[in-house]
Amino acid sequence: METSQIVALTARELAVRVRDGSITARRAADAYLSRVDAVQRAFGPFAHATPDRCRAQADAIDQARARGETLGPLAGVPVGLKNIFVTQGVPTTCGSKILSGWTPQYEGAQAACLRQAGAVLVGKLAMDEFAMGSSNENTPFEPVRNPWARDHVPGGSSGGSAVVVSARAAALSLGSDTGGSIRQPASLCGLVGLKPTYGRVSRFGMIAFASSLDQAGPFARDTRDAALALSVLAGHDPRDATSLNAPVPDYLGACETPIKGLRVGYDPDGLNHEGLDPEVRRAFEVSLRVLRERGAEIVEVALPHAHLGVATYYVLCAAEAASNLARYDGVRYGRRQPQPSLDGMYAATREAGFGEEVKRRILLGTYVLRASSYEEYYGRAMKVRTLIASDYRAAFECCDLLVTPTSPFPSFRIGEKVSDPLAMYLSDIYTVGANLAGLPAISIPGGFSQAATDRPRLPIGFQLLGPRLAEPRLFAAAAAHEADTSWHLERPPGIKA
Amino acid sequence: MIVSLIVSLVTAKEVMELAHLSRLSLSPAEATRMCGQFAHILGYIEMLRAVDVRTTEEYLSQRQPDSSLREDQVGPMYTSQCALSAVPQRRDGMVEVPKFKED
Amino acid sequence: MNTSRWETVIGLEVHCQLKTKSKLFSACGFVFGAEPNTQTDPYTWAHPGTLPVPNREAVRFAIRLALATSSDIQQRSRFARKHYFYPDLPKGYQITQSDHPYCLGGHVVIPPGVRRPAKTVRLVRIHIEEDAGKNTHLAGKDISLVDYNRAGVPLLEIVSEPDIRSAQEASAYMRELRAIVRYLAISHANMEEGTLRCDANVSLRVRGTQAYGTRCEIKNLNSFKFLEAAINAEVRRQTALLDDGGSVVQCTMSYDTMKDCTRVMRTKEEAADYRYFPDPDLPPLNIDNAWIADERSRLPELPAARRKRYAAMGLRDYDVDVLVGDPALATFFDRTIALGGDAKKVCNWITVELLARLKADRKRIERSPVSPARMHELVALVESGTISGRVAKELFDKIYREDLTPSEVMARDGYQQMSDPNLLEELVTKVLANHPGQVEQYRRGKTKIRGFFVGQVMKRSEGQANPGMVNQLLDALLPKPEN
Ligand SMILES: [Mg+2]
Ligand SMILES: [Zn+2]
C-alpha cells in the first residue's frame, strides 16, 4: 500500500488492517514517519519526534501478532502526544525552557494507556508554554503554523497536536484542555477535538496547569476515531484522586445511535457576542439545521452567567497555575540559573525559564490568592463558578445537549493578537464553560469561512456540550452531524493524503 | 458586559511585591508593562464584583461518594541514583543549593 | 516566677510524625535514618505530572488521636495548599489543612506532678499535613544540601489553646501528648529523632487580667530540656522588656542552646503570605460516623484511664508514672498481674529488677527475655513463701539470662526448699538462743526486729529455708511483745 493510502486511513481502519495483517505496524509507522520531516519543516508541530521509538514499538506489535497475541484497539496506530504528557525516557518540556533537559523517569497514565492499546509514538508535540495560550505563539521555540494557511495560527494551546493530525503526520493525537485548548485548535484546523468529563481520563502524568480544569482528550479526523481514542483513555486511575470511578460505555457503538427526538439547546444570548465573526455565526446556524434535519429538536435555553465565564476562568486558572508552577525553581530538575544566593537563584531561574504569558499568569494568580484579595477574587470566582455550573444543570433539564460555536473566530494571522492578552483570552468564551462545570464537550468540523482578499478559506468548528459523562450522547450527535456533512473529509491544501 | 468603575489599580510597587512572592525577577520595564496589562485584565475581571454571591457556596467538583483514599502500601520507588540523575547540582547523594539561612 | 506581676501564657503547636508504611500522599516508603534521597518516588520530588492520593491509614491515625483527645471530628474537611519557596519543600507548597481541618476542639489532661495539680489544656484543632525534607548547611562552604527522604511523611499538627502557664506545664503537656500517641500506636513520638516537634507561642499578661499580651513564637524545640529552657528564656526576655516599660513585638524566635537565649528570626511585617487555597487535586476528605464508631471501638485504654486504674491498685505515684510512661511496659505489667498476684509486688519486680537489667542491656521491654508468665511465677514463688527474696533474685538473674521458667531453674540447680519442720525448728531455736539481747528487745515491743531473726535463719540455711514456715516458727517461739 502506498504511503498516501496508508495515511489516508482513519485510525480505526488502520488498526483493523494491522490486526488482520494486511498492513504491518512497521509499514504504517514508516508511512507516517516519512512525512515527519516535511511536516515539521512546513508547520513545526513537533517538539521532539521519536522515530526510533516509533519503529521499535511497531516492530514489537508485529512480533506480538506473529506470536498469535491479541492486539489492542489502536494496534499500530501512530499517535502524537502534546508535550504536556510525561513519557519515560523521552524529554518532556511542557513547551517551556524551564524544563529543558528533563527526561522523565516515570511513565504517565496517558502514554501508558495508548501504548497498551497498541499505539506507537511518533513524537512529542509543540504547545503554548505550560498550555497557556490560544495560538501556540507563547513559546520560546518556533511558532506552529496552521496547515490550512501557513501564516495563520493553529490555535492553542494544543496546536502541535492539531497540526500533526491535520497534516497527516499522526493518525491521532492527544491534547489537554483547560479552557478550550483541545477544542479551539481542533476548530481552527478542521478536526474533531474532545474534552471529556472532568475525571474521565486520568491526569496522572499530565503536567498540571490548572488542576480543577485540566482534562486530556483526543484529536481525530472524525468522530469515530475520537470515540475509539476515548474508549482507550477513559477509566478510573487510583493515582489521580479526582479520577472518576464510572463504567466506560461503548463509545464507538454510541456513534450509531440515532438522534431523532434529541433536544439540542442553544443560548441565543451567547450569539450576541460582539467578537463573534459573522461567518462563524452563519456556520453555526447551518450546523443547527443539519441536526434539526436529522430529527433533533432545537430548543432555546438561557445560561444567565455564561458571560462571566472568561473572567471566572482567568482568575481560577491563574491562581492554580501560580501554585502548580511553584515547583519549577531550578532545585530538583530542569534548568537552573546559578546565582550566589538562594533567592537570586530562584528568581533568575524562573525569570530565564518562563515566558511572558506564564509570568503574567503567575503574577495574576499570586495576586488573587493573597490573603488581602482572596475573598474578592479567588473566593468570588469560585462562587461564580458554582452559578455557572448550576446554569448548565438547569439547562440540561430542558435539553439533552447544548451547542455553541467553538471559537468566536476562525484562525488568525501569527502575531495578530500577541500584543493584547485580553483579546486572546476572549478566544475562549464558548469553551471555558465546559471546563468550569466539568462537562464533556466536543468540537467538530462545522464549515469554512469564505475566502476573501484579507483572509483565506479557513475551518470553523461547532461545539456540542453534554451533562457529566454524556460522552455517548455527544458522539451520537457528532456522528449524525458528520453523516450529513463532508467538512471533516476536506484536507488542508497541499496535504495529498 | 458590566464593568464596574472601581477598577483595582495595581501599582508598579505592588507588581514588584508579587514578583518577589512568586520568585520572579522583573526588570523595571517589564514591571511597568505588566502593570498596564494588569489594569486591563483586572478591569475585565471587575465584572465578577457585580454578581451577588452572598448565598452561593464555592464550587466543588461533583465526585463519587467513596473517598479517594489509598491503602497504606509501598509502591515503586526511585533509586537514589535515578532520582538524582535529574538534579542540576548534586553532592554526596544530596541536592546542592546556594547556602541559605534556616528559618 | 509566682512572685512576678506577669503571668506566662503559652500555647503549643506540636507536630507528630505518623508511623505509616507509606507517605501521606504517595506510595513511597519511609525508613528513619536511611541514606539521603533513598526514600523517594516521583511525587516526593514533585516531578511534573505527579498527583497526591491520601493514605487511608494516615487518616485512620488522625481519627484515633481526635477520639483520644475528645476532639470534634468533621465529617467533611479539606486539604489546602500553603505556599512558600524553600529548598526542602518540593512542590513550592505544603499540602495541609487550613480553614477546614478534620477536627476541632478537644483537650489533653495533664496528670498532676510535683507541686503541680492536674490540668486540662484545651485544643484549638488538629490537622493533617505533609512533612518537608531536611537541609544540611555545610560549615565553611557556601552551599546547603537537601535530602528529600522525609518530604511527604504524614504529620498531625496539634494546636493548643493558650492554656499553659509555665515551662514545666508545657513539657508535662508534651509528655502526656507523647504518651497518648504512643498508646494509640500512631507515632514513635521521639523528640530526639524529630518524630515529635514543638513550636511554642509565649506571651505575658498582668497577673489577674484576662486579655492576652503580644505573643512570640519560638520555633523548632526538639527536646523536653530545650522546650523548658527556651520558654524560660523567652519569659525572661519578655519580662525584662515589659518591666522596662517596653512592649513585645510579635515575631518568630529561635532558641540559642549555647547562649540560653531566644533571638528574633523574623518580625510580623516579614511574615509570609502563604496564599492558602483548597487543593484542587484533592476532593474533600469525608469521615463518616461508621468509620468513627469503628475506630472508637478499637481504641486502646489511654494513659489517663490506665493511670486511674493503677492508682486504684494502690501503686505509688512514681510507679504509676513509670508504668504509664511506656505503654509496652504497662502492657507487660497488665499481662503479669492478669495471672494473679499482688500488684504492688509485681510492680516492684518489674520497675526495679527487670527495668534495671533491661536498661543495662539497652533493651526495650518488648524484647524482654523474661515473659510476663515467668515474672508472675517468680513473684508467686516468693509470695507463697516457697523461696526467699534472696533466692528469688538469683532465680531472676538466671531466668533473665536463660530461656527457662523459675521452677525449671530450681529443679536444675537443686534449689531445695528447707521445709522439714524439725530441722527448721532446730535452726530457729538456735538463732534465738544466740541472740538473747535482740529477743529481749522484741519482747519489750521492738517488733521490727523480727526481720533480723528471719535474716539470720535464712543466712544459716543458705537461703533455702521456707520463709512461710520460718515465720510460723518465730510466731510460736518468740516471746509475746509488750504493748
Ligand atoms: Mg504551624
Ligand atoms: Zn504544620
User: What is the 3-state secondary structure of C147-191?
Assistant: ECCCCCCEEEEEEECCCECCHHHHHHHHHHHHHHHHHCCCCCCCC
Please report residues of C whose CB lies closer than 8 A to that of B76: 27, 41
Q: A6-10 — which CB contacts under 8 Å span 24+ positions? A: A6/A31, A6/A32, A7/A31, A7/A32, A7/A35, A7/A168, A7/A171, A7/A497, A8/A168, A8/A497, A9/A171, A10/A171, A10/A220, A10/A221, A10/A222, A10/A224, A10/A225
Find, in chain C, the residue whose alpha carbon is nearest to that of A378.
Answer: C277
Please report residues of B whose CB lies closer than 8 A to that of A102: 86
Q: Tell me: the pLDDT tens digits for A484-494?
A: 999 999 999 98
Q: Which pLDDT score, from 0 to 100, does residue B3 have?
A: 39
Surrounding ion ligand 2 within 5 Å at CB are: C 157
Confidence of residue C114 (pLDDT cuts 50, 70, 90): confident
Q: Which pLDDT score, from 0 to 100, does residue B1 have?
A: 36
From the list B60, B63, B72, which residue is nearest C21 (CB)?
A: B72
Taken in order A76, A80, A81, A87, the sign of the CA dihedral is: positive
DSSP-based three-state secondary structure for C103:
strand
Distance CA A149, CA A154 (A): 9
Q: Which residues of C344-361 are buried (b: 16+ CB within 10 A; e: fewer)?
A: eebbbbbbebbbebbeee
Q: Tell me: the pLDDT tens digits for C338-354?
A: 998 899 999 999 999 99
Q: Which pLDDT score, from 0 to 100, does residue A270 have?
A: 94
Confidence of residue A381 (pLDDT cuts 50, 70, 90): very high
Q: Which pLDDT score, from 0 to 100, does residue C414 have?
A: 75
Q: Provide Rg for chain C, Cα atoms.
A: 30
In contact, A305 and A391? CB cutoff 8 Å: yes
From the list B23, B63, B93, which residue is nearest C35 (CB)?
A: B93
CA C12 to ligand 1 centroid distance, Å: 9
Mean pLDDT, residues A457-482: 98
Q: Which pLDDT score, from 0 to 100, does residue A407 have?
A: 97
In contact, B21 and C273? CB cutoff 8 Å: yes
Residue C335, pLDDT > 70, answer: yes
Q: Which residues of A288-306 are buried (b: 16+ CB within 10 A; e: fewer)?
A: bebbeebebeeeebebebb
Please report residues of A whose CB lies closer than 8 A to that of B26: 351, 359
CA C96 to ligand 2 centroid distance, Å: 7
Q: Which pLDDT score, from 0 to 100, does residue B67 have?
A: 63
Are the Cβ atoms of B94 and C37 closer than 8 angstroms? yes
Q: Which of A438-447, C289-298, C380-389, C405-414 has the lowest mean pLDDT?
A: C380-389
For chain C, positions 54-73, list CB contacts with chain A under 8 A.
Answer: 54
Please give the backbone phi and psi of residue A436, each rounded to the nearest 5 degrees, phi first: -65, -35
From the list A86, A329, A378, which residue is nearest C49 (CB)?
A: A86
Q: In sequence order, what E strands does A267-374 have?
A: 297-300
Please report residues of B whose CB lies closer than 8 A to that of C55: 69-70, 72
Residue A95, pLDDT > 60, answer: yes
B15 CA to chain C: closest CA distance, Å? 15
Q: Which pLDDT score, from 0 to 100, does residue A229 have?
A: 98
Residue A375, pLDDT > 50, answer: yes
CA C15 to ligand 2 centroid distance, Å: 6
Confidence of residue C209 (pLDDT cuts 50, 70, 90): very high
Establish if B73 touches chain A: CB-CB under 8 angstroms.
no
Distance CA A184, CA A417 (A): 15
Q: Tell me: the pLDDT tens digits for C216-259?
A: 999 999 899 999 999 999 999 999 999 999 999 999 999 999 99
Q: Tell me: the pLDDT tens digits for A279-316?
A: 999 999 999 999 999 999 999 999 999 999 999 999 99
Residue A497, pLDDT > 70, answer: no
Q: Which pLDDT score, from 0 to 100, does residue C410 have?
A: 84
Establish if B57 touches chain C: CB-CB under 8 angstroms.
no
Q: Residue with C-alpha cell 516526593? A: C44
Q: Tell me: the pLDDT tens digits for B37-84?
A: 888 889 999 999 999 999 999 998 766 556 689 999 999 999 989 989
Q: Which pLDDT score, from 0 to 100, does residue C75 have?
A: 95
Q: In sequence order, what E strands does C62-102 have?
A: 72-73, 76-77, 80-83, 93-96
Distance CA A187, CA A207 (A): 24
Confidence of residue A273 (pLDDT cuts 50, 70, 90): confident
Chain mean pLDDT for chain C: 92
- Ligand of minimum distance to the alpha carbon of C272: 1
Mean pLDDT, residues A445-472: 97
In contact, A213 and A436? CB cutoff 8 Å: yes
Q: Which pLDDT score, from 0 to 100, does residue C3 have?
A: 65
Number of residues written out for chain C: 483
Distance CA C447, CA C317 (A): 29
Q: Which pLDDT score, from 0 to 100, does residue C154 have?
A: 98
Quote the distance between the C-alpha of residue C9 and its chain's center: 24
What is the CB neighbour count within 10 angstroms for residue B67?
A: 18
Distance CA C396, CA C274 (A): 60
Distance CA A426, CA A310 (A): 7
Q: Describe the crossing of helices A109-116 and A223-233 by its angle, rounded to 10 degrees.
A: 110
**CA distances, C285 to each of A202, C53, C100, C255 (Å):** 20, 11, 10, 37
Q: Tell me: the pLDDT tens digits for C122-175?
A: 999 999 999 999 999 988 889 999 999 999 999 999 999 999 999 999 999 999
Q: Which of C162, C173, C261, C244 is nearest to C202 (CA)?
A: C162
For chain C, positions 72-111, list CB contacts with chain A under 8 A.
Answer: 81, 83, 85, 87, 90-93
Q: Which pLDDT score, from 0 to 100, does residue C423 have?
A: 81
**CA distances, C113 to each of B92, C117, C200, C347 (Å):** 47, 6, 21, 20
Give the CA count within 13 Å in the CB-facing half-sphere of C161: 14
Identify the residue with better confidence: B38 or A110.
A110
In contact, A323 and C93? CB cutoff 8 Å: yes
Q: Which cell numbers in the block locate residue C360?
A: 543495662
Residue B6, pLDDT > 60, answer: no
DSSP A85: B
Q: Which of A251-260, B31-40, C85-94, C104-113 has the lowest mean pLDDT?
A: B31-40
Identify the residue with better confidence: C32 or C1.
C32
Mean pLDDT, residues A437-449: 98
Q: Which pLDDT score, from 0 to 100, does residue B7 have?
A: 45
Distance CA A407, CA A417 (A): 15
CA C335 to ligand 1 centroid distance, Å: 40
- B vs C, Cβ pairs < 8 A, gives 122
Are the Cβ atoms of C92 and A329 closer than 8 angstroms? yes
From the list A326, A332, A370, which residue is nearest B86 (CB)?
A: A332
In contact, A462 and A405? CB cutoff 8 Å: yes
Establish if B98 touches chain C: CB-CB under 8 angstroms.
yes
Q: Tell me: the pLDDT tens digits for C408-427?
A: 888 788 776 777 778 888 88
DSSP C268: G
Distance CA C450, CA C442 (A): 7
Q: Which pLDDT score, from 0 to 100, does residue C470 have?
A: 85
Q: Which cell numbers in the block locate residue A374?
A: 482572596
Q: Which residues of C377-411 are buried (b: 16+ CB within 10 A; e: fewer)?
A: bbbbbbbebbbbeebbbebbebbbeeebbbbebbe
Paired sense of beta strands A297-300 and A263-266, if any: parallel
Q: Tell me: the pLDDT tens digits for C167-200?
A: 999 999 999 999 999 999 999 999 999 999 999 9
In contact, A296 and A289? CB cutoff 8 Å: no
Mean pLDDT, residues A128-137: 96
Enzyme catalytic residues of A: 82, 157, 181
Q: Which of A9-23, A224-238, C23-37, C102-116 has the lowest mean pLDDT?
A: C102-116
Q: Residue with C-alpha cell 521458667? A: C405
Find, in chain A, the residue whose alpha carbon is nearest to that of C37.
Answer: A332
Give the CA count within 13 Å in the CB-facing half-sphere of A184: 37
Mean pLDDT, residues A158-176: 98
Its ipTM equals 0.96
Q: Which pLDDT score, from 0 to 100, does residue C141 have?
A: 87
Residue A119, pLDDT > 70, answer: yes
Distance CA A474, CA A401 (A): 8
